[in-house]
Amino acid sequence: MNPKPTIYHEKQVKELCALHALNNLFQTRGTFSKSELDSICSRLSPNVWINPHRSMLGLGNYDINVIMAALQKKGCEAVWFDKRKDPGCLDLSNICGFILNVPSDYKLGFVMLPLRRRHWITIRQIQGNFYNLDSKLEAPQLIGRSSDLIAYLKEQLESKEKELFVVVSKEVDEKQLWMHQYALQNNLHSHNTNHHDSPDSTSMAEYDCRNRDVECLRVTDIRNYADFKENSLQ
């Protein structure tokens, strides 16, 4: 019988879910600190009175731009996953982990306030099993093996309010190795097919290819989108 794995799991403090998600992803205490993430905020938007990448009160609530910049310091990239695609196209062997963005109620002590905030959750593999390392959980939640994870991701992405980011190394991102090759080939075939359409439909086919058939968007290439609906996704 295999011993229960040792899992590092930071629990929620203030509005620091992005910080907890990053440290839980790298499974090391202090991989990042609040001061480091605040420094990233200042670098992203210098010389401003109110920094748009964190809470106005400085309690956290960091946005996707901060997470992206922090991951890049560790040689990683965050890739936005198009939820219209089947998570089965993911090559889990080349993926470091996942960061899921979900809606969250806001509490002040024991009082539930009528505010909707955004919450960052890490999912990653540890000793063969995938775990939900949500900082709001009392303990890591076992998801299971690869097939269990794919089913779990499908269920999560049925919600229009949830978004998934795939965390990979820069090399994997550049070569798109986080996605099974058959999915890439299908995407290329679809693109080529569109180019053989009638001349009158060429512009529409190119539009569709860009907007419907793209498997993923690098966060670095969609900085405007990476504000992630700026005020709603933090």
Please tell me the predicted confidence (pLDDT) of residue 182: 65
Gap between the Cα atoms of 105 and 84, Å rounded: 26
Please tell me the predicted confidence (pLDDT) of residue 214: 34
Please tell me the predicted confidence (pLDDT) of residue 211: 34
Give the active site residues: 17, 119
Whether domain 17-170+215-226 has CATH 3.90.70.40: the reply is yes
Q: What is the pTM of this model?
A: 0.74
Please tell me the predicted confidence (pLDDT) of residue 117: 62
Sheet holding 216-218, edge to edge: 141-144, 129-132, 111-126, 97-108, 163-169, 76-81, 216-218
Domain limits, the chain: 17-170+215-226, 180-214
Please tell me the predicted confidence (pLDDT) of residue 96: 96
Please tell me the predicted confidence (pLDDT) of residue 60: 78
Please tell me the predicted confidence (pLDDT) of residue 187: 60
Gap between the Cα atoms of 219 and 221, Å rounded: 5
Please tell me the predicted confidence (pLDDT) of residue 223: 39
Residues of the chain whose pLDDT is less than 50?
106-116, 195-234
Please tell me the predicted confidence (pLDDT) of residue 189: 54
Please tell me the predicted confidence (pLDDT) of residue 161: 87
